[in-house]
Amino acid sequence: MDFDLTDEQRSIAETVREFVDRRVLPVAQENDINHYLDMGIIEGMAELGLLGAPIPTEYGGSGLDYVCEALICEEIERGESAFRTLISVHVGLNSLSLLQYGTEEQKQKYLVPMAQGEKLGCFGLTEPAAGSDVAAMLTTAIKQPDGTYLLNGQKNWISYATEADYELVFAKTDPKGGHRGISAFIVERVWDGVEARRIPNKLGIWAGSTGELFFSNVQIPAENLLGEEGGGFKIAMHSLDQGRFTVAAGAVGVIRACLEASTTYANERHTFGQPIGKYQFVQDMIADMVLGYETSRLLVMQAAWKKNRGERNTRETSLAKWHATESAFNAANLAIQVHGAYGYSAEYPVERYFRNSRAPMIYEGTTQIHKMMQAEHALGYRKMNG
Per-residue pLDDT 10s for the chain (386 aa) are: 778 999 999 999 999 999 999 999 999 999 999 999 999 999 999 999 999 999 999 999 999 999 999 999 999 999 999 999 999 999 999 999 999 999 999 999 999 999 999 999 999 999 999 988 999 999 999 999 999 999 999 999 999 999 999 999 999 999 999 999 999 999 999 999 999 999 999 999 999 999 999 999 999 999 999 999 999 999 999 999 999 999 999 999 999 999 999 999 999 999 999 999 999 999 999 999 999 999 999 999 999 999 999 999 999 999 999 999 999 999 999 999 999 999 999 999 999 999 999 999 999 999 999 999 999 999 999 875 44
What gap in Å lies between CA 305 and CA 26, rounded to an integer? 33
pLDDT for 207: 98
Query: Residue 47, class by beta-carbon neighbours within 10 Å (0-12 exposed, 13-18 middle, 19+ buried)?
Result: exposed
| CA 237 remoteness from chain centre | 14
Q: Pick the catalytic residue: 163, 294, 364, 376?
A: 364
Residue 311 bears catalytic tag: no
Domain range 7-115, CATH class: mainly alpha
- Closest C-alpha to 183, from 221, 227, 216, 148: 227
| CB atoms near residue 292 (< 10 Å) | 26
Distances from the Cα of 17 to the Cα of 6, 38, 41, 196, 275, angstroms: 16, 18, 14, 33, 28
Closest CA relative to residue 154, chosen from 166, 170, 134, 175: 170
> CA dist 52 to 111, 304, 322, Å?
9, 17, 25
For residue 77, the model assigns a pLDDT of 98
CA 75 from chain centre, in angstroms, equals 14
Element (H, E) at 36: none
**CB contact set of 95 (below 8 Å; sequence gap of 6+):** 52, 55, 61, 111, 114, 115, 121
**List of residues 6+ apart from 355 with CB closer than 8 A:** 203, 204, 205, 206
The distance of Cα 87 from the centroid of its chain, to the nearest Å, equals 6
**Residue 227: alpha-carbon gap to chain centroid:** 23
Topology of domain 121-230 in CATH is Butyryl-CoA Dehydrogenase, subunit A; domain 2 (2.40.110)
Separation of alpha carbons 340 and 323, rounded Å: 26
pTM above 0.85, yes or no: yes
Q: Where are the domains of the chain?
A: 7-115, 121-230, 234-379
Give the CATH fold of the 234-379 domain.
Butyryl-CoA Dehydrogenase, subunit A; domain 3 (1.20.140)
